[in-house]
């Protein structure tokens, strides 16, 4: 599985910001309500972030455990759990990008009429939702980093058949994730 590309996230965010801005312009022109998520969505975003962090910390603890083999058998991490954690982290980053982009577009449209409105609740709500999306992006990228396993010396053959680190991995920009086929 390939890591999340930050440029792709920025492109998605910009596209959704334009879409959010356009939707706000259209809905305000026709007297409809502003298309911003309700405040209860913050609770859902918080639950997703907490679950992602808990699972990511579990993978990180497994990755960083350095127990000697003679004292206790090193516990194996369920590869399916690790793969699911990675997918959840990437989904969290993409969902956060969508939420951030959409609500930044709404915030920018509402900002231009800031002084004309007596109720700026929608503007603040869009800003808070964008902040929640930013938290989801950060947590998704950090947990994705937790799922990366550093290559072990001697596991693979490098260039020219010598023992050591292979040419792929972090040096090639891909990285290994917490899934090993033993």
Tens-place pLDDT, residues 5-33: 999 999 999 999 999 999 999 998 998 98
pLDDT at site 42: 95
Do 120 and 142 lie in one domain? The reply is: yes
Residues 95-137: pLDDT tens digits? Answer: 999 999 999 999 999 888 776 666 678 889 999 999 999 999 9
Do 112 and 23 lie in one domain? The reply is: yes
Report how far residue 109's alpha carbon sits from residue 131's, in angstroms, rounded to the nearest whole number: 17
Residues 34-52: pLDDT tens digits? Answer: 899 999 999 999 999 999 9
Do 141 and 161 lie in one domain? The reply is: no
pTM: 0.77
Do 156 and 72 lie in one domain? The reply is: no
Residues 133-156: pLDDT tens digits? Answer: 999 999 999 999 998 876 664 455
- Note whether residue 39 is domain-resident: yes
pLDDT at site 77: 78
- Note whether residue 1 is domain-resident: no
Do 135 and 165 lie in one domain? The reply is: no
Do 170 and 121 lie in one domain? The reply is: no
Do 134 and 155 lie in one domain? The reply is: no
- Note whether residue 100 is domain-resident: yes
Do 83 and 165 lie in one domain? The reply is: no
Maximum distance among all Cα pairs of the chain, rounded to whole angstroms: 72
- Note whether residue 173 is domain-resident: yes
Residues 61-89: pLDDT tens digits? Answer: 888 885 545 445 557 778 898 899 999 99
For residue 171, the enclosing domain spans 150-182
Burial (CB < 10 A; 0-12, 13-18, 19+), residue 120, is middle
**Three-class DSSP category at 177:** strand
**Domains contained in the chain, number:** 2
Element (H, E) at 31: none
């Amino acid at each position: 599985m390939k890591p999340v590309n930050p440029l792709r996230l920025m492109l998605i965010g910009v596209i959704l910001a334009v879409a959010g801005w356009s939707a706000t312009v259209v809905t305000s022109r026709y007297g409809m309500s502003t298309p911003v998520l309700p405040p209860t969505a913050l609770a859902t975003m918080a639950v997703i972030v907490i679950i992602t962090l808990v699972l990511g910390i579990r993978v990180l603890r497994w990755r960083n455990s350095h127990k000697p083999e003679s004292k206790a058998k090193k516990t194996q991490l369920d590869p399916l759990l690790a793969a699911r954690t990675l997918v959840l982290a990437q989904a969290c980053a993409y969902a956060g990008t969508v939420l951030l982009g959409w609500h930044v577009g709404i915030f920018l449209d509402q900002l231009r009429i800031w002084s004309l409105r007596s109720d700026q609740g929608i503007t603040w709500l869009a800003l808070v939702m964008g902040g929640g999306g930013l938290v989801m992006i950060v947590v998704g990228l950090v947990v994705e980093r937790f799922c990366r396993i550093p290559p072990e010396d001697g596991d693979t053959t490098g260039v020219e058949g010598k023992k050591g680190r292979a040419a792929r991995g972090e040096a090639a920009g891909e990285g290994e994730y917490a899934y090993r086929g033993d």
